[in-house]
Amino acid sequence: MIKSFIENGRLAALFIALLIVAGFGALSSLPRTEDPEITNRFATVITTYPGASSERVEALVTDVIENQLRRMEELKLLQSTSRSGVSVIQIELKDSITQTEMVWSRARDLLNDSRALLPNNVHEPRLDDQIGYASTVILGVNWQGKTQERIDIINRYAKELQNRIRLIDGTDFVTLYGAPEEEIQVTLHSNKLAKLRLTPAIVARQLNHADSKISAGKVNNLSFRALIEVNGEFDSLERISSIPIKATQNHQITRLRDIATIKRQPKTPIASKAIVNGKQGVMIAIRMLDSARVDLWQSEVEKDVKQFQQLVPANIKVNWLFEQKSYTSTRLGELLINLLQGFIIILTVLMLTLGLRNALIVALSLPLTALFTLTCMKFVGLPIHQMSVTGLVVALGIMVDNAIVIVDAIGQRRAEGQSKLDAVSNTLKHLWLPLAGSTITTILAFTPIVLMPGASGEFVGGIAISVIFALIGSYLISHTLIAGLAGRFSACNHSNHAWFHNGAQFPQLTRRFQQFLNASLKKPLLTTLSIGLLPLLGFIAASQLTEQFFPSSDRDMFQIEAYLPTQSSIQNSAQLTEKLNSYLTDKNGVTQVNWVVGGNVPSFYYNLTQRQTGAENYAQAMVKTQNYTVANQLIPELQNELDALFPKAQILVRKLEQGPPFHAPVEFRVFGNNLDTLNQIGDQVRQRLSQSQFVTHTRTTLSSGTPKVSIDVNEEASSALGLSLSEIAQQMQMATTGVIGGTLLEQTESLPIRLRIDDIYHSDVQRLSEVNLITPLGQFLPLAAIATTQMQVSRSAIPRRDGKRVNTVEAYIIADVLPAKVLQEVQQDIMAIDLPMGYSIEVGGESAKRNAAVGKLMSSVALVLTLLFTVLVLSFNSFRLTAIILISALQSAGLGLLAVYCFNYPFGFTVIIGLLGLMGLAINAAIVIIAELETEPMARAGESKTIVSLVNSCTRHISSTTVTTIGGFLPLILAGGGFWPPFAVAIAGGTLLTTLISLIWVPSAYFMIMRNKTSSAVIEST
């Protein structure tokens, strides 16, 4: 086959054409996104219990549902918040779960099972398994013009647009935010009820019985079958208003319209409110399927939105709030530029070291290997995103290593006078096993990243997969096509010493190197120990590095969170939001601000979580600026200004973070049973955190008390009047929030029918005692006649973690200050707090996520090391040589840490990944050196002159691969940002320093081992 590649140019051309067609075919069809797909292992269960306090919600709803959900073996974590009237439970699955559809189906079955265990007036639990996904596009529909805003009309057009986008091929799901819940409100007139001796309970019962949305059976005989249905279901306001409520002896019928006002309107108070460009509107969050290309899919969305805008009235406007296409194009474009820059740098280096002809042959392996990698990505379904493309950038300097070694070796044999076929055959026979070993060991170095479970592994795994495919492609292409081309075109005459012919020659540098290596071999023990001090210095320096899990994002966007006192209503939160929005829109550099009040905005970044469902005292904004630099400048500036302008609210201006989600950069979780004790301990933790100069805000998840109106009824008096406590509670509910008395079916939409008595009490606490109760005899009775009311304090929210009550203290810090620095400052003081029996404190936040991710990464290292050890032992049939290679890899990690320290980067997850890759490269270089030394018996006998000569023959391709590796990573370093430079510096800087290990330490250690081995053999022979 090699002979065919050498002699048959058509075969080589066809092989190249095949790679080009396959690679570009994959490039055109692979999905494209900005970030990798991360399996959604999160879901939220929302259960409403109208009128119940947080304590009742915890005991009667949250605890019951949690006990059911714990039957799921896939469950990793349950977190819950019990608020007044609502239970919110967050489910997190184990990292090993990658197919979640069946798991969520099982969870819904368990929720159905729990329905019978819940109180009667608890609404059905609703599981939302789409909260863990970032939106691909976010639209906003709002009102234009000076006429009065009609949120109900806006909502109907938003739903119509939602239905249109759902039909676009490639759309996953479409969700509305801030959409008003429309309902049919039936306001009963209490005076008319009293005259007819009707109670609200009777009216509600009549309303429920009049709705015929139930089966009436079916007829089934030998000739046909038919369903039986009683007409009269609620399908219009006219049908509801005509319901007979009471008939007199004179056959006079009192219908619902005679005693009530019936109208269709948005539910009040609203559950959440969306502010789109300063006006109330509805947000539409759209998620694309992971198998689609974002550029093509979004073009279809843009086309559909444009058509829709032309069809709607002029006062309805569709606004583009966020779209991922531009970010994806920018990100991938920057990485492709880095790839091209790296290619140019590598080509230049190759021309200087190998000469023009050999450089072009080696450089050909780069695009061909990249096309091979794209083909493999298509085969395994790995999309094109920033991680997979970065893998190509990472592999850029690595995938020419095999080609450099083979082309250089063939050139040397051709210079010795060997024929084309002999030069290629002898080179491959000599190098296939060492290069296979070095390729496999480098692959194994990246394997822990691929095997890493969970979100972190899915996020960065694309880098390792791309590198592995590139290494495989590099080996195969180098041993076939490149070897054939080198045999056919490489120069056999080395008498021409021009640099463009055979590469630049540095005779003086070569002589100095030989002298230094020769001196090192005379004192090998001193040499190995002296050089070993440098990696040791790197490990010592690593202890001084500040730890950082993942760096911040370089988006031109950031988020703002606003917390008001827990007793604040959503109207109060909306008023604050209007003031904040007005201030932000006037801020120089801000281009767009959009809010959701009473909940979270749609996720516009892959790791934003939805954890404030139903929080009326909360608002969140997504803020877009002119560019990333402006965003970084505005974040600390706005934090200081908003703190001064709005002292009654806690406002957090937060960067977008990379990596798996965490709620706050610094967290301490306090566990215990008594809520008051948890609150006291939480206050102590907050007090210690606030002493840090880097902490801007602290808050606790165990909210302070909220007002509750307590009604003490004289049961003897109420019983004498025929009123039970439940009837009084129902009438009070109807006078305030109202009760649901059925549903109206309108096409595919089901609208609840809410009964309420004279809508005058639901917003005035002072007038609650004036509520007129209606007795069974039709008498009016003010509540004050049989009951007293008083204001009390109840818990606003009760958080739990895995079934245990918890008070999480969250600390938010100054922008650009690393969480590890703050944690190191306060942790000892906080852990010294004297805790009662049964209470404990644990660290959460960024630190806990970092430790968990590193633990997952290291979980497969033992297996990989075993495989690595096995490959090396089988390659060289020597434990001693294997030890040299592994020790050189360990030393390279120390040198990589030293490079990170010198460039003043923090120690984070990306640095760990870079060190794994660096160790693979160090093993690769050590294998090449030792394989060359093993070819000569005199070297094996410990003859220093032969060792110097053999190592010197390797210096050209070792130096070439070192410089090309550094050149491949140089664009990532120069590009700036916080994510890639630490990673690139760890590999590139470590590779440069590791040259000392490869060319000096490895030969010295080899000489020392072989000399001792020879001495032992001589002693045994005598």
Q: Provide the number of structural domains found in the chain.
A: 5
Distance CA 782, CA 711 (A): 13
934 lies in some domain: yes
Q: Are residues 754 and 857 in the same domain?
A: no
Distance CA 852, CA 912 (A): 14
Q: Which domain holds residue 785?
A: 199-258+706-794
Q: List helix spans (H) across 30-150.
A: 54-57, 63-69, 101-114
Residue 784: C-alpha distances to residues 558, 658, 767, 776, 839 (Å): 52, 58, 10, 18, 44
303 lies in some domain: no
pLDDT digits (tens, 9 = 90+) for 434-472: 888 888 888 888 888 888 888 888 888 888 999 999 999
Residue 915: C-alpha distances to residues 533, 861, 922, 972, 986 (Å): 18, 13, 10, 16, 6
Q: Are residues 7 and 62 in the same domain?
A: no
DSSP secondary structure string for all residues of 257-312: HHHEEEEEEE-SS-S-EEEETTEEEEEEEEEE-TTSBHHHHHHHHHHHHHHHHHHS
What mean pLDDT is predicted for residues 350-376?
86
Range with the poorest average pLDDT among 15-29, 375-389, 562-576, 736-750: 736-750
SS3 letters across 170-201: CEEEEEEECCCCEEEEEEECHHHHHHCCCCHH
Q: Please give the pLDDT value at position 74.
A: 93
Q: Are residues 895 and 767 in the same domain?
A: no
CATH classification of the domain holding 544: 1.20.1640.10
Q: Please give the pLDDT value at position 1021.
A: 46
pLDDT digits (tens, 9 = 90+) for 1011-1020: 766 554 444 4
- Whether 96 shows a pLDDT value over 60: the answer reads yes
314 lies in some domain: no
Q: Please give the pLDDT value at position 80.
A: 93
CB-based contact 703:566 (threshold 8 Å): yes
When pLDDT is cut at 50, 70 and 90, the band that residue 761 belongs to is low
Range with the poorest average pLDDT among 35-44, 475-484, 766-775, 801-810: 766-775
Average pLDDT, the chain: 86
| 21-53 burial code (b ≥16 CB/10 A, e <16) | ebbeebbeebbbbbbbbbeebbbbbebbbbebb
Token readout for 144 is 């234009």
Distance CA 396, CA 467 (A): 9
Q: Are residues 46 and 23 in the same domain?
A: no
| Highest mean pLDDT, choosing among 34-43, 724-733, 879-888 | 879-888
Q: Are residues 371 and 468 in the same domain?
A: yes
CB-based contact 671:801 (threshold 8 Å): yes
Q: Please give the pLDDT value at position 311.
A: 92
Distance CA 226, CA 224 (A): 7
Residue 246: C-alpha distances to residues 193, 213, 789, 948 (Å): 11, 22, 34, 110
Last residue of a domain, one of 85, 104, 131: 131
What mean pLDDT is predicted for residues 296-322?
94
326 lies in some domain: no
Q: Are residues 374 and 446 in the same domain?
A: yes
Q: Please give the pLDDT value at position 216.
A: 74
Residue 959: C-alpha distances to residues 367, 658, 754, 951, 997 (Å): 22, 35, 79, 12, 12
Q: Are residues 493 and 424 in the same domain?
A: yes
Distance CA 771, CA 767 (A): 7
Residue 775 vs residue 595, higher pLDDT: 595
Which amino acid is it at 1011? Answer: R
CB-based contact 477:470 (threshold 8 Å): no
Distance CA 970, CA 704 (A): 53
348 lies in some domain: no
- Whether 210 shows a pLDDT value over 60: the answer reads yes
pLDDT digits (tens, 9 = 90+) for 605-652: 888 888 787 788 899 999 999 998 899 899 999 999 999 999 989 999
When pLDDT is cut at 50, 70 and 90, the band that residue 300 belongs to is very high
- Whether 299 shows a pLDDT value over 60: the answer reads yes
Q: Please give the pLDDT value at position 79.
A: 93
329 lies in some domain: no
Beta strands 907-908 and 547-548 are parallel
When pLDDT is cut at 50, 70 and 90, the band that residue 212 belongs to is low
112 lies in some domain: yes
Q: Are residues 379 and 482 in the same domain?
A: yes
- Sign of the four-CA dihedral 995, 1001, 1007, 1010: negative
Residue 447: C-alpha distances to residues 452, 465, 552, 742, 913 (Å): 9, 8, 26, 58, 10
- Whether 1022 shows a pLDDT value over 50: the answer reads no
pLDDT digits (tens, 9 = 90+) for 928-975: 888 888 888 888 887 888 888 888 888 877 887 788 888 878 887 887
Token readout for 856 is 């997952």
When pLDDT is cut at 50, 70 and 90, the band that residue 494 belongs to is low
Distance CA 561, CA 663 (A): 12
Contacts of 25 (CB under 8 A, 6+ apart): 375, 378
Closest by Cα among 608, 569, 611 to 88? 611
Which amino acid is it at 539? Answer: F
Distance CA 576, CA 573 (A): 5
CATH classification of the domain holding 560: 3.30.70.1430
Residue 89 vs residue 245, higher pLDDT: 89
Closest by Cα among 57, 266, 232, 282 to 752? 266
Last residue of a domain, one of 77, 100, 131: 131
pLDDT digits (tens, 9 = 90+) for 886-921: 999 999 999 999 999 999 888 888 888 888 888 888
Q: Are residues 529 and 441 in the same domain?
A: no
1001 lies in some domain: yes
DSSP secondary structure string for all residues of 702-750: SPPEEEEEEEEE-HHHHHHTT--HHHHHHHHHHHTT-EEEEEEEETTEE
Q: Please give the pLDDT value at position 799.
A: 93
Q: Are residues 519 and 578 in the same domain?
A: no
Please confirm whether the linkage preceding 313 is cis (ω < 30° from 0).
no
When pLDDT is cut at 50, 70 and 90, the band that residue 377 belongs to is very high
Q: Are residues 379 and 459 in the same domain?
A: yes
In this prediction the pTM is 0.83
- Whether 499 shows a pLDDT value over 70: the answer reads no
Q: Are residues 468 and 537 in the same domain?
A: no
CB-based contact 344:336 (threshold 8 Å): no
Distance CA 639, CA 486 (A): 62
pLDDT digits (tens, 9 = 90+) for 560-593: 999 998 888 899 999 999 999 999 999 999 999 9
Residue 778: C-alpha distances to residues 524, 774, 800 (Å): 108, 6, 46
Terminal CA-CA length for the chain:
50
Token readout for 571 is 């109207």
Q: Please give the pLDDT value at position 283.
A: 96
Residue 296 vs residue 215, higher pLDDT: 296
User: In the structure, how many helices (H) and strands (E) does the chain have?
Assistant: 35, 32
